[in-house]
Structure 1
Amino acid sequence: MEKRSHNIPILFIFHYLLLSNINLSSKMAAAQTIPIRVGVILDMDGYGEMAFNCLSMALSGFYSTHSHYKTRLLLTNRPPKGDVIGAASAGLDLLKNVQVQAILGPTFSSPASFLISLGEEAQVPIISYSATSPSLSSTGSPYFFCATLSDATQVDAIAAIVEAFGWREVVPVYEENNFGEGIMPYLSDALGRVNARIPYRSVISTLTTDDQIKAELYKLMTMQTRVFVVHMLSPLASRLFIIAHKIGLMSRDCAWIVTNGITNELELLDQSALESMLGVVGVLVGSKLSIFGLWAYDAATALAIAAEKANLRDVKYIQTSTNSTDLEGFGVSGDGPNLIKTLSNTTFTGLAGNFRLVDGELEAPPLEIVNFVGHGVRGIGYWTKESGIVKELNSKSANLYADFTPKSKLGSIIWPGDTTSRPRGWVIPTNGRKLRVGVPVKAGFTEFVSVKWNADNSTRVEGYCIDIFEAVMAALPYGVSYEYIPYAFPNHTTAGDYNSLTYQVYLGRYDIVAGDVTILANRPQYVDFTLPYTESGVAMVVPLRDVKRKNAWIFVKPLTWELWLTSFCSFVFIGFLIWLLEHERNDEFTGTFWYQVGIIFWFGFSTMVFAHKEKLKSNLSKIMLIIWFLVVLILTQSYTASLASMLTVQKLQPTVTDLNYLIRTNKYVGYMQGSFVYGLLKKMDFHESRLVEYTMIGPINKANGFGIAFPIGSPLVKDVSRAILNVTEGRKIVEMEKKWLGVVNKCLDSDELATPNNLGLGSFWGLFLIAGVAAVIVLIIYVWRSLFCAPAAPDAGVAAMIVLIICVCRSLVCAPAAPVAPTPAPAAVGENVVAANEGGN
């Protein structure tokens, strides 16, 4: 603690002790008592005088109600007359000349460290009720008792507030002294536990001028972070907030949190300071005023109880050294060890609450969270070590809010700018500094990111990911200036892998990381990613091997069973049709019943290899056979090609299709240098010795794609994510892909290397339709001529069939054509009869 004002009201203390002080002098005079000398180190200014009165009244009130006590504490004050040196001189005087059994004080944290050393040397307990620096407790001295709350007790409450509202960067603003600096290690650790970092520390001296404070606040305005934790005493805090309000740093984007160094001295803040602090959130030890006076009162009471229980006697120090110097000649108190043991076990209910020392420190009560509302403060919740942030201090309310977030457990808050909307806590800096964009430096996959150095050592960064990043930044509703900084050593080689690159954002070296950075589960622990702007994954690149599969029935696989059945029926039908047209006048198609059946099957299937030996006499048969030969030719060639493809592709199979096989056989696996694949393979139980820098069948692991990395809590993440959606849904992304990636082909999947699909009926229905139509026409002509017409000249019959075939085909395939004129009747009927007899059907 540092110097405080003397205006702290203590009237309520006098009122509390009024009845107990009646006839006090007469009672003490009549009692047989043992005086116990206790030193007090206080400046008798306004605050010191108030504290000394609290100590005196505490002892008077206590002994008036405990008149049977044999011991009586006698206070001996030694004003320090300065700071550290004066306090040390006062302490030496009390130990050497007065030989006190305990010392109350000093008031401030700065001189306490040396005084603690003196007390430990003399085995005299040092009891402080106002020095709150956590650094005092770190001395580990058993003779130091902090009868006040250490500043470290509130850091977890502050961190809980930061976590509740999702802020990820905090700037501490504190006094340049032991009081201000003592809290910083504890505050830094507490913020780290909630994943918040400290990018900058603002240190302000108690002797600084208003202009210097204004310059420091302007410096804060040039930075991105707008969440501030103020740890200072009320005089300096009043000046700070008045100036911050004037220059516009108490805006709706800012969040201000103050420690109990300010809230415990609310009565010292004038109205102008309170009005400037509208929207500030603070941590308060309790709603009572004059908390330091109450702690002084309780400290004196605790010492009086411990002195009686320890059965102290007014004895001289034991001299352990003949050295006459001040630092070694004051001896050792014989009752010191007994007194510290008794004091550690002393508990009671005091004016400031329950008094209990745990490891030499006052046990922390629940802390109230308050909101400055212009004329004072109002409570919005509490923080306890067991439950964190709660709205009410009872188990019922704790259970009621158990399923809600800490933010919802607080009451309504008025924030700076007189708004109820939560401050972002992060803004675009106003100093014109360009955002530092880190980009990877690598040898492979330069289509995504490529960094080239010019002769003047300047860099040229380009690639698919860079074009997307620039398009996204241009799509933002506001202008953002940036510059590329390659992640490389001075010799232009890469400075680390992608994990290390993204971690530089957390360390503050880069504001953004752009490039082919994959969104992985471990990386959002220290950065925030935008929405992915491309898909990503991991695949294996493996050699193919020549594999000969033994399959006795592979010859039937080129065609589907529907096509096989249709082909079989078609061959039989064609054989039957040719037999029907030829058997009446062609001796090769006559004979016994089974002979003619054999001819039908033989002739039909022999057309498949063009091996039939029978001569045809009917022109209808010849035309039908020509059409069928076309069908057979296409079928056989297609079958041959499909079978050859199957036999060839089956020989080219990947050597590895399963990662578990690689793990079991301990094979070597390659990876790209600097890629996250190395960590992924180690996580999948690949031995590190089998992993080598840089060999794809099918995805083996899904990733969330490429994203742009920002500091955690950056408001740019949402805006850039929206811009990414606009860019990726537009036509410009296609141009970028063609420019840098060309035609994007995915890697072959193992299923794609399997046997090609066999041929089905759907591929040949047109051929069978033509052959079927021709066969039907031939049958119609054959039946018509056999039943209803006289034998006609062969040329006329053939011509009629050809015309019908052409008409049917054109109707099926082409647009309707003009009707064909009928063939004129022949002039010589006799010639027709002769031709009919010779040609037959």
Structure 2
Amino acid sequence: MNAFPPFHYFLLAILLLIAVKAPTNRSTEITKNSHARRVIGAIIDSTSRIGKEQKVALEMAMEDFCEFSNQSFLLQIEDSHGEPIRAGLAAIALIKSHHVQLILGPCTWEEASLVADIGNKNQIPVLSFADVTPNWAIEQWPFLVQASPNQHGQMKAIAAIVKSWEWHQVTMIYEDTDSSVNGVLPHLFDALREAGVRIIHHLSLGPLTTTNSLSKELERLQRGQCRIFVVNLSFLLAIRLFEKANKMKMMENGYVWITTNSMTSLVHSIDASIISYMQGVIGVRSYFPENEPHFQDFYFKFCRKFALKYPEEKNHELGIFALQAYDALWSVCLAMMESNKVGQQLLDKILLSDFQGLSGRFQFFNKKLAPGQIFQIINMIGKSYQELGFWSSKLGFSKTIAENVTYNSSMRNLGQVIWPGGPWYTPKGWTLSTTAEPLRIGVPTRSLFKNYVNVEYDLLENKSLFSGFSIDLFKATAEQLPFYLPYNFYPFNGTYDALVEQIHLKKFDAVVGDVAIVANRYKHAEFTHPYTESGLVMIVPVQSKTCNKAWLFLKPYTNAMWVLIGAINVYNGLVVWFIERHYWPELKGSALNQMITLLCLAFTTLFSLHGKKLHSSLSRMTMVAWIFMALVIMQIYTANLTTMLTVQQLEPTVNDIETLQKSNAIVGCSRAAFVGKYLVEVLGFNPKNIKNYTSPDEYAEDLINREIAAIFLEISVAKLFLARYCKGFTTAGPVYKVGGYGFAFPKGSPLLPSIIEALLKVFESGKLRELENNMLASQVCMEVESYDEIPSLNTNSFLVLFILTGGTSTMVLVIYIFHLDNYSMLVHKTIWRLMLAVIRHWSHGKKWFLRRVNNARISNTTETIQL
């Protein structure tokens, strides 16, 4: 905005015709008269409480400064009666008739804009008390200065209050003036947006708003859902609003009213009859130090003078507006005392003001008074109000303003607040509309697993039927709400992204189903907490660990065990042969024959040699221990091998996605889910290698036929898939973190916090687990437990057995040897015979080999001659 509102054009044209047109001559005249006296002009509204306080404060400021400086100043005050045209005429009179060097006031932007233009054309600085001065106005009128704090800090305080109680939506009630529309609302909107709060409705009121129209507007608000109202109205209009709201029972339980400085800073002037229908209102007002001696002295003098000047006013206390006027006049007097300059020089001197005034630090930034950093929070109670605490823009909330005080980010720490209607509990800030229709809840029809969402059409009743885990969970959540929530389900045959987008398009009020919480869907809606596990898993076929392995028969025992079995058998056979060799022809003959017989004896003991044929008791003793060991080992071997072949040990066909990508394998995912995009953009799969499916049976069939190597599912539906096809598939690889399933609602929905709280109650009551168990139990194939691989048995398991049979054979051998008379002769003879037999067989073998070679040569020669 860079020009006047339309209704000001006509007024400005008239005033400019009356105004002085020669600023240079006017400046010269002022300079000449300034040596005789210094004249300061002021424009106030004597019909308002603010104007009355300002007039008394300005007069006191002039008296105090003249006494302080011992210099002569003249204060000329004009009355605008709150009308812009009168404010403009007052400015002309001050300049033309009273030759003022500067103008203070007025209080509203509508008046200040006219005065600023007149002052600028005459090079007269104007210090406006309006709460808002647009930036364009300061550029257009260089002699305009805002002598009241910026509203941005106050709006941040209101946003902090709303955020403290976890309210998400507010209704703004403001006065239809330029200052509210162009100043207050943008600041409040920005502050609330930073706090995550939305202004969902605006109610504009004007001074000419009738009682009938006010009632209609409040009835419209009463029918809505939002119960948090931020009021930025002038004092008298705000009084009318609360009086009417009280009659309409809008000052009762469930409602929250927050007022801004324009109303709250005048609560000291309200009598008990008016406060009676403002019970529970929260107010924000500018803070000023009341404990300093200078303020205390000024306070008592002000009350006395105000009572004498305005006896019709019942309350004589002062507010921030009086203190701001007092400080502004002091800054002007200080500038004029130090310099006789006028116009731009005087303005420059004023802008350098920096002192501790009654209202706080008085200092200008960019031709605006430094914004307030501290605000007081009050609560209307009984016949007056209670001071709850303070809010600082840098530190937060505190109960007092002092050193070493504790600050908090939430207003809850200030103590108990009395809300409208007197409840001790905090209002939730919204309610169901009295005329609202049931919620329109969209439900997906493309759910891969009907256990979650199943939509069927009943031809007899001509309606859709909704069932499944998600539907049952939402119904259980609605039952936990502290109020009745009407709703209807509506089928949606489209993608899940398109379904969530319907909320943003206001075709659905919510979405219930197996809808994953992903980032791109937050553009259109907000979600509850996930009610399923979060994650994406890979499912692949399984294969046996033991099938088709050539050396499976060796698996029951370890390699060391097989070596020990062979060694103990050879040793036992050698002992039996050594003892029985003279009694059995089979144990005699050549050395080669005896070696072969010895090996056969070692491994066929149970079948080729029986205990009753043994002649020596010592060999029978060895055979008993040997047979006992053999029986035990054979039985355990048979049992372990049977177990390995009977119990199916399975392993995944693929262990990681890298294997899939290297082999260029085809993988599957749901057509309606976000998984396909995740596989391409995050996991790096080729889009051509991704196949979409619409049913779990198609998944299973293609996995079994090896048309696809793996499928990717959310954990929640992966459990259902494995429960249905538990014997053929398993999960493999890591779990990829993605959002679980949640219910979707519009952004900033006042219903969402209550739904989340109710959903948590369902979690904590065990109802969610019960629904999950029922869903999984409904699957025909129960999930198979995973078995660890059956280990091979080692020597430690048979150590005692080997010691028994080996020790027995050794003992028998020792006894037998020491009972032989011809021990030495027998040993040498036996060794010699074995050596001769080996040499003889080696010689015969060599002759036979040479004879075969010669025969082959003769045969080849004969064939060559014939050819």
Same fold flag (TM > 0.5): yes
Given that 1:448 and 1:515 are in contact with CA atoms closer than 8 Å, whether structure 2 keeps it comes out as yes
- CA gap 1:557/1:83 in 2 versus in 1, 3 angstroms: farther
State the alpha-carbon separation in 2 of the partners of residues 684 and 258 from structure 1: 50
For residues 750-796 of structure 1, give each alpha carbon's deviation from its aligned partner in whole angstroms, at most 9, with x where no partner exists: xx8xx98246569xx9xx9xxxxxxxxxxxxxxxxxxxxxxxxxxxx
User: What are the equivalent positions in structure 2 for 1:68-83 lying under 5 Å apart?
Assistant: 68=71, 72-73=73-74, 75=76, 77=78, 79=80, 83=83
CA drift at 1:132:
1.3
2:743 pairs with one of 684, 705, 708: 708
The aligned counterpart of 2:533 is 535
1:24-173 map, 5 Å: 33-36=35-38, 38-45=40-47, 48=51, 51-52=54-55, 54-68=57-71, 72-73=73-74, 75=76, 77=78, 79=80, 83-88=83-88, 91=91, 101-129=101-129, 131-133=130-132, 135=134, 140=139, 142-173=142-173
**What residue is the counterpart of 1:835 in the other structure?**
none
Pair 1:422-2:422 in alignment: no
1:431 to 428, 435, 439: 435
The letter for the 2-side match of 1:358 is F
Count of residue pairs the alignment pairs up: 682
Q: Taking structure 2 as the reference length, what is the TM-score of the superposition?
A: 0.63
The CA distance in 1 between the partners of 2:522 and 2:217, in whole Å, is 33
Q: 1:444 to 1:55 in 2, by over 3 A?
A: same
CA shift in 2, pair 1:53/1:297, >3 Å = same
Name the CA distance, whole Å, in 2 between partners of 1:604 and 1:635: 18
Q: Does 1:338 align with 2:338?
A: no
1:208 aligned counterpart, secondary structure: coil
Superposition deviation, residue 383 in structure 1: 1.5
SS in 1 for 2:332: helix
Cα deviation for residue 521 of structure 1 reads 8.8
Which residue pairs with 2:600 in the alignment? 602
Shift of 1:429: 3.9
Give the 3-state SS of the residue equivalent to 1:757 in structure 2: coil
Distance 1:682 1:289, change over 3 A: farther
Contact 2:451–2:775 (CA<8 Å) still a contact in 1?
no
8 Å contact kept, 1:37–1:76:
no
1:457-468 matched pairs, under 5 angstroms: 463-468=468-473
Is contact 1:671-1:677 (8 Å) kept? yes
Deviation, 1:634, is 10
Q: Distance between the aligned counterparts of 1:68 and 1:698, measured in 2? A: 89
- Look up the match of 1:722: 761
Mapped to 1, the partners of 2:349 and 2:667 lie a distance apart of 69
Number of the residue aligned with 1:330: none
For the residue of structure 2 that corresponds to 1:192, the secondary structure is helix
- Structure 1 708/114 Cα, relative in aligned 2: closer, same or farther at 3 Å? same
Aligned to 2:228: 227
Deviation, 1:344, is: 0.8
Indicate if the aligned counterparts of 1:134 and 1:151 stay in contact, CA closer than 8 A. Answer: no
* Corresponding residue number in structure 1 for 2:384: 376
Q: How far apart are residue 743 of structure 1 and its match?
A: 5.0
SS of equivalent to 1:202 = strand
In the aligned structure 2, how far is the partner of 1:427 from the partner of 1:561?
A: 74
Letter in 1 for 2:474: F
Q: 1:559 aligns with which of 553, 556, 560?
A: 556
Instruction: Pick one of 390, 407, 425 that aligns with 2:411.
Output: 407
- Please say if 1:699 is aligned against 2:734: yes
Q: Does 1:347 align with 2:372?
A: no
1:554-608 Cα offsets, whole Å, 9 max, x none, are 65763243995699499959x98xx99xx99996876699999986863574599
Aligned to 1:187: 188
- 1:558–1:643 contact (8 Å) kept in structure 2: no
Tell me the residue number matched to 1:3: none
Instruction: State the alpha-carbon separation in 2 of the partners of residues 248 and 679 from structure 1.
Output: 54
Q: How many angstroms does 1:58 deviate by?
A: 3.0
- Maintained 8 Å contact 2:41/2:76: yes
Q: How many angstroms apart in 2 are the aligned matches of 1:186 and 1:349?
A: 27
Point out where structure 2 has 5 or more consecutive residues left out of the alignment: 1-32, 289-316, 614-622, 693-710, 713-731, 799-867
Distance of 2:463 and 2:138 partners within structure 1: 53
Whole-angstrom distance in 1 between the partners of 2:757 and 2:47: 56
**2:396 matched to 1:388?**
yes
Structure 1 pair 702/409, CA: closer, same or farther in 2 (3 Å)? Answer: same
Identify the structure with the greater helix proportion. 2
> 1:515 is matched with which residue: 510, 513, 516?
513
Q: In structure 2, give the amino acid aligned to 1:105.
A: G
Give the match's secondary structure for 1:77. Answer: strand
2:370 aligns with one of 339, 363, 373: 363
SS class of match (2:193): helix
Is residue 2:291 matched to residue 1:293? no
SS of the residue 1:395 aligns to: coil
Contact 1:132 1:151 in 2 (8 A): yes
| Structure 2 Cα separation of the partners of residues 280 and 548 of structure 1 | 78
What's the C-alpha RMSD, in Å, of the aligned pairs?
A: 5.7
Q: Which residue of 2 aligns with 1:829?
A: none
Most deviating of 344-353 and 678-687:
678-687
Quick one: structure 1 residues 481 and 90, their matched pair in 2 at CA, closer, same or farther if it must change by over 3 Å?
same
Q: Residue 329 of structure 2: SS of its match in structure 1?
A: helix
Q: How far is 1:74 from its partner?
A: 5.3
How big is each residue's C-alpha offset from its partner over 1:115-155, in whole Å with a ceiling of 9 and x where there is no partner? 434544554322112x2136478755543222223333311
Distance 2:196 2:245 in 1: 27
List runs of 5+ in structure 1 lacking aligned partners: 1-30, 314-334, 769-841
Structure 1 window deviating more from structure 2 (211-220 vs 588-597): it is 588-597
Percent sequence identity over matched residues? 27
Shift in Å, 1:102:
3.0
User: Aligned partners of 1:684, 1:120: CA distance in 2, in Å?
Assistant: 63
C-alpha displacement of 1:410: 1.6
> For the residues of structure 2 that align with 1:567 and 1:94, how far apart are their CA atoms?
122
State TM-score, norm by structure 1. 0.65
Aligned-partner SS, 2:740: strand
Cα distance, 1:345 vs. partner? 0.7
Q: How far did residue 266 of structure 1 move?
A: 1.0
Change (3 A) 1:701 1:140: farther
Taking the TM superposition and a 5 Å limit, the aligned residue runs for 1:448-459 are 448-449=452-453
Give the whole-Å Cα distance in 2 for the aligned partners of 1:657 and 1:416: 61
The 1:458–1:36 alpha-carbon spacing in structure 2 relative to 1, beyond 3 Å, is: farther
How far the C-alpha of 1:435 sits from its partner, in A, is: 2.9
Partner secondary structure for residue 715 of structure 1: helix
2:336 alignment partner in structure 1: 307
Distance 1:136 1:600, change over 3 A: same
3-state secondary structure, aligned to 2:753: coil
Q: Distance in 2 between matches of 1:123 and 1:667?
A: 83
Report how far residue 396 of structure 1 moved.
0.9
Whole-angstrom CA distance in 2 between matches of 1:345 and 1:666: 75
- Select between 369-378 and 666-675 the one with higher mean Cα deviation: 666-675
Q: Classify 1:52/1:275 alpha carbon distance in 2 versus 1 (closer, same or farther; 3 Å).
A: closer
Report deviation, 1:263.
1.4
* AA of the residue aligned to 1:437: I
Q: How far apart are the structure 2 equivalents of 1:178 and 1:158?
A: 21
Cα distance, 1:190 vs structure 2: 0.8
Letter in 2 for 1:172: M
- CA 1:61–1:513 in 2, change beyond 3 Å: closer, same or farther? same
Q: In structure 2, do the counterparts of structure 1 residues 428 and 602 end up closer, same or farther at CA, with 3 Å as the change threshold?
A: farther
Change (3 A) 1:268 1:79: same
Change (3 A) 1:614 1:184: same
Q: Does 1:470 align with 2:475?
A: yes
Give the Cα–Cα distance (whole angstroms) in 1 for the partners of residues 604 and 95 of structure 2.
129
Q: What is the CA distance between 1:719 and its match in structure 2?
A: 1.9
Mapped contact 1:642–1:759 kept (Cα < 8 A): no
